[in-house]
Amino acid sequence: MAHTPRPYTAVHAGDGPGFGDDAVRALRAGGLDVDGHRVFKTLLADVDGHLVCAVVPVAGLLDLKALAVAAGGKKAVMADPARAQRSSGYVVGGISPLGQRTALPTYVDTSAEGFATVLVSAGRRGLQVELAPADLCAATGAGFAPISRPVSR
């Protein structure tokens, strides 16, 4: 599996949302021509009592209803951050779809198929990995599904 590590200087105040946006800004500041459509965030959700992993563009939002449908469930809610960290073995803001402590059903948004490569967390804040979407799916056992929606402004 061809891949390229993409380190960046991680700067984030607090443990709130925005890690993906911070990564995009830092990668661009480091000279990499990327935007929030090609950089993907990893989110864990609870679908009918079972954790699943969703990989969606930083520029979008996870559509929980669509994720539930993709996972064959009825209802999805965001996983508690502490539960997500325990399951994945990674800290929030650095959760990777790759190499999680507990392998979860994984769904990558179909928008990834429009790029030769995408970037996802490599397991810690300050490090992304660039790889082909098909390689990401192969490495995680993921399937593509339409699970994101645009950010409404």
pTM: 0.94
List the single range of 1-5, 37-41, 114-118 with lowest mean pLDDT. Answer: 1-5
Q: Side chain identity at 94, as an amino acid letter? A: G
Architecture, CATH, for domain 3-150? Alpha-Beta Complex (3.90)
Question: Cα(48)–Cα(65) distance, rounded to whole angstroms?
Answer: 12
- Please report, for the chain, the start and end positions of each structural domain, with discontinuous segments joined by +: 3-150
More confident residue, 151 or 20: 20
Give per-residue pLDDT as tens, 53-92: 999 999 999 999 999 999 999 999 999 999 999 999 999 9
Q: Are 44 and 55 in contact (CB under 8 A)?
A: no
